[in-house]
Structure 1
């Protein structure tokens, strides 16, 4: 039974206590009108305290449940599928700033970020249109995978920059990447052998860090709901850089030689370095404060050096593994064993290290795992197409580097528009999962259509030039959408302080996929090319064509694609040379389709989370 409250005398209160008493009384009325969870009418303050404790405990249980499911990223009730049942409001908290920094400061930072994206894109596509030319001049057609993979290997190794930028700061890491990239471009322009060129491309691969850090900085500044739009805008600059790298690179190479195409990137790198140095001023985040106060010696102690070494060794062995002919059984078996050992130690180190360079423990979350794997398989299929679709155009259709670069521009433009539209879609709807499934499916269908129109076993099936423009559009646009969508699904599934870490994970998986795409497709291409050339040329050679001449012809055709349409190739062999290259390229398209299917399957692992409209996700 309720007891009578002790009478309260005026002298027991000072004015502040009286004011507090009145506020408590009003709070009690509001709580009673809103809820009857605990209603103690016999007292005043005791009833308030009981109801508050009950309500806070109830809310705490809900909050804890959410945190366990989503690393604290989701601020809404979830159903069994992880979907939000709450309405998606445009503004979660009117009192919270729209961006991390004032708009006038944001408008200074964004051009710096977009210049980084432009520079990275410029370098990534400039080789795709010149790959056949460079490889032929350096007698390195069989080593295309090493030339391409050296760049991608570097991009993969540099991806832990997310963690390093938390320790040393975003800006210093950006300047370091630009400096090494510029040195790499200079090395490529002076290269005299396949090895020296591959070393230059490895150094140029530090441009991959520009994309990673630019993405991390945008995620620091922009709320999730609008993040896709800004990523789409960044992809426009990526498209411009890709178009300049592809078209202008081919044009420069035609007039001044391919070395000039790499040399011209050096002054661009210097310009971007100075732009970042003088204009990029970023606010300090809460989880970076502890590193800011540490000495340089303490910062270096925070670096997971063993993890970086293990990651580098694993990726290097992976490139070797995918670059060795299966016929060399002993070498392949040795490298395979070493790769498995390196992979085991890398996983063990990163799972047991308290401060890992690649926090792979986050992969236990199905959204992080699905987003990362879809990026990896998507990168495998797009880089297979990116390197061998131009080879098909130059060998089967006899197009030069300038024509290939120009034909690539429309698909790059559509790719950037697709990214912007996907960002707008997510901003308007707050949803992304079904959109990702549909777009990934369209990418696979686009590769099927590409395979139909480039079917190599009948030379009558040769696409016209206008078809070459759109055949690559759908797969590339689909990949662009996947990158934007999975980035949001990834960072929405983790708390703010883990954004940079999971972004690095995504780019690491993307780098591994790019390396695998270049290496595995190169193996598929070279394996089929050698077999097809041997089979077709042996079957159709004239009676007076000796075995020695045949062997020399096959060796030359394998190592130099320009030989096909040169006057040095015997007239009787041209058709079979073209057929062999066509079948070999088509086999890489088939491989790309298989990878696109795996990309689609891994998208189904992703869960739908709320895209918040404020930086603090409230």
Structure 2
């Protein structure tokens, strides 16, 4: 919208073509209208009259890419999502191996944390950066970061491993966000759910198989090859992006015109600094607390206070200083954007908590071998697969998503509730199916929330809202596991210190048992039956505490998701 044309918006009922309802209150659009008038180029991919940007049509169902180019790009995008998820979990079975080989057992948590930190911190930046520079250059940069990071990680040096994992996280988070944004550039919203469902399946396969593949390659070739093998894979993905992701003229995915210097001048470096600093501080504090310092300590409190101050400064910069904010904070004033983001945040907290502590319960309480533990969680993958694809098909056929999302969240709630009734006497069939409903509901929510975010705002904001979703997802997963870990460790410690001294009169022996039980979930198998029973009961109560947190965040999800509005899912890219 140009500066010379500033229509006055009265607080009356308007017909909104993007909504499935008869209209909406125009006063709810004032914040966005003022934003566009003050910064006409804000968030748009092409400078100038952003309202005039119309995605091109073609003869293949309104897609911007067709035939071989379309499906080759989609395949590469799915494989990129797979690698991104795989690298987040591939070290789960290798932490001890790598740390022992490099003589860094006390610092082994950094091998996993470095990747998650960079992935979560840089995730919010990709929407705006890809709007300015275009999707293809950013995707190519992500391929380079991912490949270089994997290459550096393969060196037998602890500092190289940490630095390499950090760089890999920058590329891996971009793989997720920018491929998702690019799909929205080339696929109409009505069909978008099916492809997003496929992306969720690819991500789930990568996350589920990371530990297994990492262990297999380590046993076959060595841990360094786990990372070096990914280098040619990232090169292959980059080549596909280079030669097959060819957008037609006028596509918002091409970025803004101008020289590189002009584009760099548009980046909100100040806001980016405060946002990344805040996220890194939060994630560092929650990741290291309980291991390097207590949760109730000046160190933890200082980190959290610093993070809050940095976040408040970021919000101030975005609202009052940055001419083109890196993350559109004002979009969160939209009811659907805010509620969809909170739905994603709370449910991801809940989901990652049960995914992390259900195997702990199976191992420490029911005392199943590792092979059977893996089989017990396969229902989660079945739920994710059917939920993701089913949601996409449903939205393609009906063009609706609100009712589906409510059903999915309620089903998820019932699934999480089941964990509170899990006991050592629960049948094998109950143990097998307990993760299906949560996986099914979570997968549907991921697909629906993304489309709800994109459909709720003009197409020029689709990259920004996609970044918001992935930021909610990454921070939710990390914070969820950290909070659940604090709850689990606190309950386990209190239970053990209260129970063990009652049956072990020797104080030194009791302290040794408590220390071993806290450090090893399978320690109970090495002690007498009486002590084993006590340790198992303490672990059960600690796991139930984590499950209670998962249930509580699931309840919050049920509340916030009700405020999502139904918007029309258009069958063409220009949303006519």
TM class by shorter-chain length? Answer: 0.7 to 0.9
Residue 231 (structure 2) pairs with residue 231 (structure 1): no
Structure 1 unmatched ranges of 5 or more = 1-59, 82-92
Following the alignment from structure 1 to structure 2, what is the Cα–Cα distance between the partners of residues 444 and 140?
A: 41
Q: Give secondary structure in 2 for the equivalent of 1:515.
A: helix
Q: Which residue of 2 aligns with 1:426?
A: 395
Tell me if structure 2 keeps the 8 A contact 1:374–1:602: yes
Cα distance change on mapping 1:276 and 1:80 into 2, 3 Å: closer
Tell me if structure 2 keeps the 8 A contact 1:152–1:514: no
Cα distance change on mapping 1:94 and 1:178 into 2, 3 Å: closer
Give the drift of 1:175. 2.9
Give the drift of 1:531. 2.1
Tell me if structure 1 keeps the 8 A contact 2:148–2:168: yes
Q: Which residue of 1 aligns with 2:144?
A: 179
Q: Give secondary structure in 2 for the equivalent of 1:158.
A: helix
Give the drift of 1:497. 1.2
Q: Which residue of 2 aligns with 1:3?
A: none
Q: Which residue of 2 aligns with 1:381?
A: 350
Tell me if structure 2 keeps the 8 A contact 1:371–1:489: yes
Following the alignment from structure 1 to structure 2, what is the Cα–Cα distance between the partners of residues 186 and 240?
A: 23
Cα distance change on mapping 1:274 and 1:528 into 2, 3 Å: farther
Give the drift of 1:204. 3.7
Q: Which residue of 2 aligns with 1:78?
A: 23
Tell me if structure 1 keeps the 8 A contact 2:343–2:560: yes
Give the drift of 1:181. 3.1
User: Across the two proteins, how many residue pairs are aligned to each other?
Assistant: 535
Q: Which residue of 1 aligns with 2:474?
A: 511
Q: Which residue of 2 aligns with 1:332?
A: 300
Tell me if structure 2 keeps the 8 A contact 1:130–1:401: no
2:484 to 503, 513, 521: 521
Tell me if structure 1 keeps the 8 A contact 2:344–2:469: yes
Following the alignment from structure 2 to structure 1, what is the Cα–Cα distance between the partners of residues 289 and 189?
A: 43
Q: Which residue of 2 aligns with 1:551?
A: 511
Q: How does 1:42-441 map to 2 (within 5 A)?
A: 73-74=18-19, 77-78=22-23, 98-127=62-91, 149-159=113-123, 160-185=125-150, 201-206=165-170, 207-252=172-217, 264-283=229-248, 285-287=250-252, 291=256, 293-322=257-286, 323-325=288-290, 328-352=296-320, 353-441=322-410
Tell me if structure 2 keeps the 8 A contact 1:380–1:516: yes
Give the drift of 1:270. 4.2
TM, length-normalised to structure 2? 0.81
Q: Give secondary structure in 2 for the equivalent of 1:526.
A: helix
Q: Give secondary structure in 2 for the equivalent of 1:155.
A: helix
Following the alignment from structure 2 to structure 1, what is the Cα–Cα distance between the partners of residues 453 and 165?
A: 30
Tell me if structure 1 keeps the 8 A contact 2:189–2:573: yes
TM, length-normalised to structure 1? 0.76
Residue 435 (structure 2) pairs with residue 472 (structure 1): yes
Cα distance change on mapping 1:561 and 1:199 into 2, 3 Å: farther
Structure 1 residues 202-261: Cα deviation after superposition (integer angstroms, max 9, x where no partner): 444331221111111111111111111121223333344344325444555677776665
Q: Which residue of 1 aligns with 2:31?
A: none
Tell me if structure 1 keeps the 8 A contact 2:69–2:244: no
Following the alignment from structure 2 to structure 1, what is the Cα–Cα distance between the partners of residues 110 and 68?
A: 45
Following the alignment from structure 1 to structure 2, what is the Cα–Cα distance between the partners of residues 501 and 289?
A: 15
Residue 487 (structure 2) pairs with residue 495 (structure 1): no
Tell me if structure 2 keeps the 8 A contact 1:225–1:430: yes
Give the drift of 1:469. 2.9
Q: Which residue of 2 aligns with 1:7?
A: none
Following the alignment from structure 2 to structure 1, what is the Cα–Cα distance between the partners of residues 431 and 402?
A: 31
Q: Which residue of 2 aligns with 1:582?
A: 540
Q: Which residue of 1 aligns with 2:568?
A: 610
Moved more, 174-183 or 523-532: 174-183
Cα distance change on mapping 1:140 and 1:94 into 2, 3 Å: closer
Q: Give secondary structure in 1 for the equivalent of 2:567.
A: coil
Q: Which residue of 2 aligns with 1:41?
A: none
Following the alignment from structure 1 to structure 2, what is the Cα–Cα distance between the partners of residues 563 and 257?
A: 28
Tell me if structure 1 keeps the 8 A contact 2:130–2:255: no
Bigger radius of gyration, 1 or 2? 1
Moved more, 173-182 or 337-346: 173-182
Structure 1 residues 280-333: Cα deviation after superposition (integer angstroms, max 9, x where no partner): 333454546672x32222222111111121112211222244343556432233
Tell me if structure 1 keeps the 8 A contact 2:185–2:252: no
Q: How does 1:453-464 map to 2 (within 5 A)?
A: 453=422, 455=423, 460-464=424-428
Give the drift of 1:377. 0.7
Tell me if structure 2 keeps the 8 A contact 1:140–1:559: no
Structure 2 unmatched ranges of 5 or more = 1-5, 27-56
Residue 445 (structure 2) pairs with residue 482 (structure 1): yes
Q: Which residue of 2 aligns with 1:53?
A: none
